[in-house]
Amino acid sequence: MAGEERKVILKTEGLTKHYGGVHALEDADFELLEGEHVAIVGDNGAGKSTFVRQITGVEKPTAGKILFEGREVEFHNPVDAREVGIEAVFQNLALADDLDVPSNIFLGREETYFNLGPFSILNERKMLQRSREALEKTGVKIPNLHNSIANMSGGQRQCVAISRAASFASKLILMDEPTAALGVQETTQVENIIRGLKARGIPLILVSHNLRQVFNLVDKIWVFRRGRIAGMLEAGKTDGNEVVSLITGVQTGVHENASYI
């Protein structure tokens, strides 16, 4: 990989977001290369989720530019972001509990027989079949796809959310704390899905609090602190100590057995 010129997939220049007087994100210059998996880490309120929300069109930045595959893009809503190929898995499991798996995977972009606006007839068969393929591709096993999501475990739900993102042949996937609410076994499953994405060459931005996970999964670590990007470290050339000192802003004095490493 070294020395090879790789295409820049996503770049932000001076990305800024203010909520009234709160400067949640300030002047963020970020870059993601083709096939690359990066992590965004930082303390609570460091601006990680805010950053993700700008990239995915959930919110509009106060200032700054987003460049996707070299072109400047402006997202007015999550659909715009999806149309260029950015898929997101959000922290709050953006699933509709009372719907089944195919309905959730295709939520907002249902397959229909013919277009009658809102009254288009759903092509349930095609959605079911493509959901099966999507879950297979990510290696997720769910016994009955017609069960409503509410009856599933946290891990199964998260796998559905990730499969949704991964199945739409997207050019970039963002995951905001995908394993925050999961148990050990399910976390492993999600991590395996992420490795599968790496193998398929789909770039990923992973927001995580879990440094072990970050070191296991990604190539680069972007550290956010107080709404700014504090620095970028290559996962192979750094250690937990360096990352934590960037997160906390304390250059020295982090004990190597600190609990958050």
Cα distance between residue 136 and residue 155, in whole Å? 16
Residues 6+ apart with CB under 8 A from 251: 245
Q: Minimum distance between the CB of residue 159 and another protein, rounded to whole angstroms? A: 8
Is residue 180 part of the contact set for another protein (CB under 8 A)? yes
Nearer to another protein, 176 or 219 (CB): 176
Is residue 82 part of the contact set for another protein (CB under 8 A)? yes
Q: Which of 6, 63, 74, 77 binds another protein (CB under 8 A)?
A: 77
Q: Is 24 exposed, middle or buried (0-12, 13-18, 19+ CB in 10 A)?
A: buried
Radius of gyration in angstroms for the set of CA atoms belonging to the chain, rounded to a whole number: 19
Q: Minimum distance between the CB of residue 189 and another protein, rounded to whole angstroms? A: 7
Is residue 245 part of the contact set for another protein (CB under 8 A)? no
Mask of contacts with another protein, 50-69, x by CB under 8 A?
A: --------x-----------
Residue with tokens 């530019």: 65
- Region from 4-12, 34-42, 106-114, 243-251 binding another protein, contact rule CB under 8 A: 106-114
Q: Which of 6, 60, 63, 96 binds another protein (CB under 8 A)?
A: 96
Residue with tokens 């989720």: 49
**Is 116 strand, coil or helix?**
strand
**Is 178 strand, coil or helix?**
coil
Residue 236 has which token pair? 């192979």
Angle between helices 124-137 and 154-167 (to 10 degrees): 100
Nearer to another protein, 73 or 181 (CB): 181
DSSP summary character for residue 120: P
Cα distance between residue 206 and residue 212, in whole Å? 13
Is residue 97 part of the contact set for another protein (CB under 8 A)? yes
Type of residue numbered 45: G
Q: Which of 98, 133, 234, 239 binds another protein (CB under 8 A)?
A: 98
Is residue 122 part of the contact set for another protein (CB under 8 A)? yes
Q: Which of 26, 36, 59, 186 binds another protein (CB under 8 A)?
A: 186
Which residues are at the interface with another protein (CB under 8 A)? 58, 77-79, 82, 88, 90-99, 103, 107-110, 112, 116, 118-122, 124, 141, 143-144, 147, 150-156, 180-183, 185-186, 189
